[in-house]
Structure 1
Amino acid sequence: MTHVLIIDDEPQIRRFLTICLGSQGYQLLEAEDARQGLQQAALHQPDLVIMDLGLPDMDGQLLLQQMREFYKGPVIVLSVRNGEKDKVLALDNGANDYVEKPFGANELLARIRSVLRTFGDVAVPPTGYDDGYLRVDLLDRRVSLAGEDLHLSKKEFELLRSLIAHPGRIVTQQQLLKEIWGPHHTHDTHYLRIFIGRLRSKLGDDPTAPRHIETESGVGYRFIGQAD
């Protein structure tokens, strides 16, 4: 069964999509605003997300950015916005396709089949980590240590998120630098050493006997805990 999450504040659109996609054998999940959409995406990890940009509690472009921090499946934007700028921004923010409202059912179904074929082997990434001591909620961007909330800077959190997303695997220095600082900083390894040091200090992680972050000298870093 293929699960599709619909994020749209218009009940008639959700109802139409439920009927249209349900008739083709898809299992539907619904959210009427961005907050519900993020929760549903994190909880159910659907095979596909179809979302509007004009949501009541958050602009869809920001929703795309936040969802792409943990959701790696395909996303189709379904929006009345027809300007090139909106389309380009949505694609840059992680959308895989963009369909304008009003739309034809057959065209939408064809686009759905296309993106699902492309993403048929996508692995579902973890949405958090909890070992009873360190707890990381990647959806709400919250970190706690021994029950106490821990403040991380934006880049410290992004480092931790990237490592948790690949539990037990080495994430290279270049990969982390490109992802967090950008493609022009892939040789600035001193940035990485400084921020890894700060992150370890806040987590109380001893680099000589690591509990969470292990160094592969000259190569990169590995998160050695088991993610949720």
Structure 2
Amino acid sequence: MNLIVPVLLDRFGAPPVGNWRRDSAALAKRLPDMGLSEAIGELRHINAGGHMFRPTCRDVLLPAARILRRRYDPAAFDQSERLHRVWHLRMCLHSLDDSGDRGVPAALHSALTLSGAPVMPGVEHAVALRFFDRAGWAVQDCGSDHDAEEACDSVHDQAYDVAWISLEPGMDPVTVRATARGVRRASRNARILVLGGGVMGVPAEDPRMLDLDGFTPDAVQAAAIAEAALIRQGGLHAN
């Protein structure tokens, strides 16, 4: 081995150190302003073979979403540019190959999801849904908080384990509380967990202030945190 390594170094050079951290951070900064086809190409390169799906979501897409969010006032009248950029990043997520980074799916759980966004769910919402799916959950997505009535109808018709509301900057806490209460009241499963999360640091207060059973602050970890909450609750309901 002592003889082989120097020969390999002479022929191929030393392997680069710390490339992922540097390259992912650089791409996250550029991604919101890149054309869609260029962005998809860059993501395909950094996620070659689908082996870096989770790190790409965690270190590229979600930081890009945070960069984009800081540019716009969620209360501004004209949201067209922001929504276009959000759609752009969501399309980037849909383009990502996940073939090389899947583990063994967990036992099948069920979740009803909806967003606290007044118009279109954000990038974090889409990332969380992707991770619920890859963990083996059966998910019904109701979209934005305007679909709270549909969410109540859904939990009345099917015994979901979890209702998950993605919390967005500029959300209306009164609406989130009303949605959580409505879902819990209508639920066919009396033990349904109503969780919220998706965006790091939103909100900072106690989840009980929003009538939630808990937070899942990391979109990448939302499914794992929800599953852990079910285990702490004492087991799943019988379907």
Tell me which interval the TM-score lies in, with the shorter structure as reference length.
0.3 to 0.5
Greater strand percent: which structure?
1
**Higher RCO by CA contacts (8 Å cutoff, separation 6 or greater):** 2
